[in-house]
């Protein structure tokens, strides 16, 4: 498949400004990342590219300049979606790049979890993508609007849609977020319907296993990220289900999601207020008046503390590897 213009692939003025008279190579957008190569799309058609750098430095959705089957350089990203990598290693994992809208998929059942949604909203805010909460399985509840209202109450940035992912007309509600030049990425737990949404939006049928009777969750076969064209003319990035979502370097994103608490903090009597029992605490006053949920304050504290620890761990690991690299180079120098 070929695309008539770079704009069809999501090219914008942000990327054009990075080119100058000395720029060489053809712009291409990465659609798949493999250990030894990357797959890309260009107006001339698909490309298989090698890179002098590790492919781990790239994300699906990145723009690169390529020539003769090689990646020459990566253009600065407009947005990023990343988290702290799973496991004990203090590393950041790139999930996707240049995503206009982050579709946070959950369902109108026990998967709906306010604390998890707030994490995903912080993920979107810290990377610069617009958040859209997509509530699937709306046909299996009598009150889908209750779930939608709860989702939209989490942040003024949020739009939320409740739908039946198996109903093509309902899925058409997502068209504004994945039409020509737009990129929508889907994130969420396994079994909430991301693959079913992908199938409806792209016309590409991926295997979706039967629903488990014990927890009403489907099992699908998405194991890697890929950039796919949508029927509406835009782009979709589906991601494997995340068992855990740990944030790092997300302080600004967390504050954006919890803007109501951040605003209250500025009204506290003391600058070092811990928002517990101090006199003149605007946060505790709001809780007492019923204007702020105490649980929301608790979740904000947890995210801030976790991000602080995670960010310090990642920075410490980078510094350690930097020092080890210097020692290794010094040892390798001829004497």
**88 pLDDT tier (thresholds 50, 70, 90):** low
SS3 46: strand
In terms of DSSP bridges, do strands 183-188 and 235-238 run parallel, antiparallel, or are they unpaired?
A: parallel
End-to-end CA distance of the chain: 56
Query: Which domains does the chain show, CATH number per domain?
Result: 7-74 (2.30.30.140), 80-238 (3.40.50.300), 251-331 (1.10.40.50)
- Tell me the H-state helices in the chain: 13-16, 114-127, 144-152, 168-171, 194-202, 251-257, 259-265, 282-288, 294-332
pTM of the model: 0.84
For residue range 265-324, list pLDDT tens digits in order.
999 999 999 999 899 999 999 999 999 999 999 999 999 998 888 776 655 655 555 655
In terms of DSSP bridges, do strands 226-229 and 235-238 run parallel, antiparallel, or are they unpaired?
A: antiparallel
For residue range 52-68, list pLDDT tens digits in order.
888 989 999 999 999 99
């Amino acid at each position: 498949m070929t695309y008539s213009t770079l704009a069809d692939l999501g090219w914008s003025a942000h990327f054009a400004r990075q080119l100058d008279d000395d720029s060489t190579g053809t712009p291409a957008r990465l659609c798949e990342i493999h250990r030894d190569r990357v797959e890309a799309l260009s107006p001339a058609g698909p490309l298989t590219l090698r890179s002098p750098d590790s492919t781990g430095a790239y994300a699906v959705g990145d723009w690169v300049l390529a020539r003769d089957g090689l990646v020459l350089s990566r253009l600065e990203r407009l947005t990023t979606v990343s988290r702290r990598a799973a496991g004990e290693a203090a590393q950041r994992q790139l999930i996707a790049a240049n995503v206009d809208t982050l579709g946070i998929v959950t369902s109108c059942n026990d998967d709906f979890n306010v604390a998890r949604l707030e994490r995903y909203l912080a993920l979107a805010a810290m990377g610069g993508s617009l958040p859209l909460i997509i509530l699937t399985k709306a046909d299996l509840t009598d009150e889908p609007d209750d779930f939608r209202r709860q989702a939209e109450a989490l942040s003024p940035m949020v739009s939320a849609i409740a739908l039946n992912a198996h109903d093509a007309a309902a899925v058409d509600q997502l068209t504004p977020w994945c039409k020509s030049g737009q990129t929508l990425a889907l994130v969420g737990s396994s079994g909430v319907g991301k693959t079913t949404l992908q199938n409806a939006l792209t016309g590409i049928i991926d295997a979706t296993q039967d629903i488990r009777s014990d927890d009403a969750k489907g099992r699908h076969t998405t194991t890697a990220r890929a950039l796919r064209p949508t029927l509406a003319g835009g782009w979709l990035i589906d991601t494997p289900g995340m068992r855990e979502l740990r944030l790092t370097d997300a302080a600004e994103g967390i504050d954006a999601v919890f803007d109501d608490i951040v605003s209250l903090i500025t009204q506290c009597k003391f600058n070092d207020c811990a928002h517990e029992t101090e006199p003149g605490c605007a946060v505790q006053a709001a809780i007492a008046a019923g204007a702020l949920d105490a649980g929301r304050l608790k979740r904000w504290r947890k995210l801030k503390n976790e991000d602080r620890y995670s960010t310090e761990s990642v920075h410490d690991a980078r510094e350690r590897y930097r020092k080890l690299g210097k020692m290794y180079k010094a040892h390798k120098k001829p004497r």
